[in-house]
Amino acid sequence: MVYNSILSNVTRHISLSEEECLYFTSLLEYKEVAKKSHLLKEGETCKSISYVHSGALRAYCIDNNGKESTIMFAVADWWITDMYCFVNQLPAMMYVEAIQGSCIFQLRKDALDQLLNTMPKFERFFRILMQNAYTREQLRVIQSLSLPAEERYDNFILKYPQIAQQVTQKQIASYLGITPEFLSTIRKNKSKRFLS
Amino acid sequence: MVYNSILSNVTRHISLSEEECLYFTSLLEYKEVAKKSHLLKEGETCKSISYVHSGALRAYCIDNNGKESTIMFAVADWWITDMYCFVNQLPAMMYVEAIQGSCIFQLRKDALDQLLNTMPKFERFFRILMQNAYTREQLRVIQSLSLPAEERYDNFILKYPQIAQQVTQKQIASYLGITPEFLSTIRKNKSKRFLS
DNA sequence: CGTCTATTTGAATGTACTCAAAAGCGGTGG
DNA sequence: CCACCGCTTTTGAGTACATTCAAATAGACG
């Protein structure tokens, strides 16, 4: 059943009756998105949060100098959106793009509000989701402030091996906050050291 | 009434009856902490989350090279803890220290769990707390990756003027991920430009 | 008043960036 | 199926941002 993976994602944190599952899934919109297509662009209102059933997406933003920074990757079983603009229904600061052909379930803001009001146990689910996202970002801050680029790269590969396989070096570089040229030199130095 | 500020912090997001207020406040532990004393040290179990009634606290960690990184400041009306270790009841990775004499309310993990189970509306409150913390950290990541130190400093002063007044430059530097020496030169350059 | 820590200053160094150009690779159309 | 196009990756030289180390000065606190 198509809903298996998203339901097991949810029931990892809260338990649902059959009816509750039905109600929850009735709020979802299934979508297939082509590689390189955008779910969201800067300035648009961010209407939905997306669960990745399969494929891979990426959220990024572009600063005043045109520099791109990758905010997050989302592979199978991850949730992704421009959270700040989604919850406050403000114009998006981010782009969300499919980096692989992907299948996703979208939950619109009004549907989420309805879900939270009619089934309060989903408050717990999203509390835990937010809690995990928060602690993950906090760790990332500390690492970006205290570790040199090479160690940040090592940690990324260790922590997200499956993501590292699916994205380009340029995208990893923009996630780590370094230039693609510099990531290339880092990798060259690593293999040099490895050979000697 | 001493509970006014914490109750208005909570009722900013959820509404509480008088009874509910009483129950919630009965779970809190009031504490006065001296400047420079520690609420939490690395390796200890993080038993509580703290609401700052007055004063100022700071969370930081120390890496393998002995370098200190400030993770967050908390002034009046903020919540602070080592969230990851608190929710998972693991040995703390952080220190939490009072940088001013402070009055706080602490909520222990078991009391929080009880609160969430008996009054599910608190799930919503903490969901929103986590949501805000998440989006705040996400913004910080982007800025730490894409902006030079001087702009990060400007943004910090703009965003948290009341914090900037209460903490040392060394602590701000460790929040921004730069050395105190470099923050000093940044400030020198700013005043130089300002005078000319 | 003396001690301890924070801040400032400067010189030497290192990490990471910019710019430019070449090489590699994937997809698309002839 | 091959050739070409555009994008990614590599490489190198020169530069800029930020660090380290050391020493002097200033402030806070008992």
What are A51's two structure tokens?
């669960």
Per the listing, tokens 């100098």 go with A65
pTM of the model: 0.95
A174: closest CA of chain B, how far (Å) = 9
How would you label B25-46 residue by residue, b for 16+ Cβ within 10 Å and e otherwise? bebbeeeebeeeeebbeeebeb
Order of all β-strands in the sheet with A29-33 = A29-33, A102-108, A48-54, A79-80
Question: Cβ–Cβ of A141/B141 closer than 8 Å?
Answer: yes
CATH for A4-146 is 2.60.120.10
Query: Which nucleotide lies at the shortest CA–C1' distance from B178?
Result: D18
Give residue B162's Cα distance to chain centre.
13
**Between the CA of B173 and the C1' of C6, what is the distance in angstroms?**
12
Interatomic CA distance for residues B77 and B55, integer angstroms: 10
The string of pLDDT tens digits covering residues A28-70 is 999 999 999 999 999 999 999 999 999 999 999 999 888 999 9
Residues 93-132, chain A: which have Cβ within 8 Å of B?
A: 116, 120-121, 123-124, 126-127, 130-131
Chain B residues touching residue A120 (CB < 8 angstroms):
120-121, 123-124
Instruction: Name the residue ranges covered by the structural domains of chain A.
Output: 4-146, 148-196
CA dist., res. B138 & res. A120, Å (int): 26
Sign (positive or negative) of CA dihedral A84, A90, A95, A97: positive
Q: Which nucleotide is nearest to B147 (CA to C1')?
A: D17
Q: What is the pLDDT of residue B64?
A: 86
Structure tokens, A20: 């509750």
Whether B169 shows a pLDDT value over 90: the answer reads: yes
Q: How far is CA B184 from CA A2, B158, B188, in A?
A: 58, 18, 6
For B144, which of A120, A121, A141 is closest by C-beta distance? A141
Q: Residue B184 CB closer than 7 angstroms to strand D?
A: no
Q: What confidence tens digit (pLDDT) does each residue in B39-93 have?
A: 999 999 999 999 999 999 999 999 988 999 999 999 999 999 999 999 999 999 9
Which SS3 state, helix, strand or coil, does residue B109 take?
helix
Nearest residue of chain B to residue A146 (CA atoms): B177
With cut-offs at 50, 70 and 90, classify the pLDDT of residue A194: confident
Distance of alpha carbon B80 from alpha carbon A26, whole angstroms: 38
